[in-house]
């Protein structure tokens, strides 16, 4: 048997020797056939040599084909091993969305053997309510020309196990091949544990917001009770005492006693003013009695008189904010109060502009100053409890808040809350 080592023919010296042998064989053929029938023995020898050369060529070609097939099979086996060793599920589809590749992780993820999955449509592993839309998404991706992208950027994707249970996944998709032979590869990961942890964390955050809102509500109720007691009971007692002092002053003769009574009257007036101020700071009764518009007007006026910052307030429309939920009105008022307090303490401003109104079923207010402006680092400070409390109160009611630099160089705060309020747990 002739043994041919095909690798030897790739060596330059072997190639040169083979070329020389073929050249010599060609010359031998020319001489043999040129001699005609006079050199039959030479013709026979040349024919035998030709057959041997053809045999060697066929053997080398067959060996190369076998080696190429072996290398291709080894590469395919290596590729299959790499795909099977991946920790994420890998599923490849053909142009008809039938499965042509299903790795070991996919078997474990979907609970089905590879032999059962190959050739099956992808819809088998998609919940019924998503099947129509999912096929359209893949077709759209195929026409975009993009080679890969993440699937479900804004929503959680859901898949279906062989036993019928649904589970959340995150996935990416890529495409390759010619238009007539297109393939889509999906790499997906089961995120059931992460989704449970996120849901639990979200539930805890909502519970904390609910608890915070209840604490704030209880605090507002307590402030309202104390404010009314100061305004009504203590105010009435101080008023009665002032009337008695006025009666006594009319009957005292001129002298030290009358002078002392006059001084007591001034102290009593200051006490009445302080009581009213403390009561208003705790809870302005006009917020409950006259509404948010009047309370905002009064707050802006008080801020201007005490801080020295000129404050302009604008209430568009008819100037009333009827129908606003009590909790929403309190949240807007407290946010406005906190914003004005921050301007007085930190902004170094000379002017402030306030706008309060209602539109499209929402109550809004916007406040801006011409001070130094807030820095991003100020928002992240652990001691910025006022801003954090404002944000929590507004978000619990389903509203939004924006704190940033305004066009005048200072700080601008924008708050929007549904008129009737919408706790975040229900908003979602």
Torsion of CA 305, 306, 310, 313, to 10 degrees: -70
364: β partners: 357, 416
C-alpha–C-alpha distance, residues 168 and 189, integer Å: 9
Per-residue pLDDT of the chain (428 residues; tens, 9 = 90+): 344 444 555 556 665 666 666 666 566 666 666 655 555 555 566 566 666 666 666 666 666 667 666 565 556 666 667 777 888 899 998 888 899 999 999 999 999 998 999 999 998 999 988 887 877 777 777 776 665 666 655 567 899 999 999 999 988 888 887 766 788 889 998 999 988 998 899 888 888 878 877 787 788 778 878 877 887 778 788 888 888 888 887 777 887 777 888 888 888 888 888 887 787 777 777 787 788 888 888 888 888 888 888 998 988 876 567 778 888 888 888 888 888 888 888 888 899 999 998 888 888 889 999 888 877 776 666 556 677 778 888 888 888 888 888 888 888 999 998 887 655 444 43
C-alpha–C-alpha distance, residues 327 and 333, integer Å: 10
Q: What is the CB neighbour count within 10 angstroms for residue 103?
A: 22
Q: CA nearest 188: which of 99, 77, 120?
A: 99
């Amino acid at each position: 048997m002739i043994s041919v080592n095909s690798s030897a023919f790739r060596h330059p010296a072997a190639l040169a020797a083979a070329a020389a042998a073929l050249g010599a064989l060609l010359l031998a053929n020319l001489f043999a056939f040129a001699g005609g029938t006079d050199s039959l023995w030479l013709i026979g020898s040349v024919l035998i040599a030709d057959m041997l050369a053809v045999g060697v060529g066929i053997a080398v070609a067959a060996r190369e084909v076998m080696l190429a097939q072996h290398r291709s099979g080894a590469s395919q086996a290596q590729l299959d091993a790499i795909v099977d060793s991946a920790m994420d599920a890998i599923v490849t589809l053909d142009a008809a969305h039938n499965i042509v590749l299903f790795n070991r992780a996919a078997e474990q993820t979907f609970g089905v053997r590879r032999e059962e999955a190959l050739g099956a449509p992808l819809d088998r592993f998609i919940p019924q309510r998503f099947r129509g839309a999912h096929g359209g998404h893949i077709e759209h991706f195929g026409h975009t020309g993009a080679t890969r992208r993440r699937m479900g950027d804004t929503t959680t994707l859901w898949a279906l196990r062989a036993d019928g249970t649904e589970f959340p996944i995150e996935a990416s998709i890529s495409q390759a091949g010619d238009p007539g032979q297109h393939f889509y590869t999906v790499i997906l990961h089961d995120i059931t544990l992460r989704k449970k942890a996120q849901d639990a964390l979200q539930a805890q955050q909502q519970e904390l917001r609910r608890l915070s809102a209840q604490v704030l509500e209880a605090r507002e109720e307590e402030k309202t009770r104390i404010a009314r007691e100061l305004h009504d009971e203590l105010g009435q007692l101080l008023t009665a005492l002032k009337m008695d002092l006025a009666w006594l002053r009319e009957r005292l003769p001129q002298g030290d006693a009358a002078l002392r009574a006059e001084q007591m009257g001034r102290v009593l007036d200051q006490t009445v003013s302080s009581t009213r101020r403390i009561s208003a700071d705790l809870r302005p009764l006009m917020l409950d009695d006259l509404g948010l518009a009047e309370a905002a007007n009064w707050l802006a006026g008080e801020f201007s008189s005490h801080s020295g910052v000129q404050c302009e307030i604008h209430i568009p429309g008819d100037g009333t904010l009827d129908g606003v939920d009590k909790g929403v009105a309190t949240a807007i008022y407290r946010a406005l109060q906190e914003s004005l307090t921050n301007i007085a303490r930190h902004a170094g401003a000379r002017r402030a502009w306030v706008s309060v109104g209602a539109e499209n079923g929402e109550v809004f207010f916007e406040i801006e100053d011409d001070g130094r402006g807030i820095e991003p680092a100020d928002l992240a400070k652990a001691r910025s409890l006022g801003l954090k409390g404002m944000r929590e109160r507004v978000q619990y009611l389903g509203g939004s808040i924006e704190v940033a630099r305004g066009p005048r160089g200072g700080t601008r705060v924008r708050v929007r809350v549904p008129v009737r309020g919408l706790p975040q747990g229900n908003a979602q």
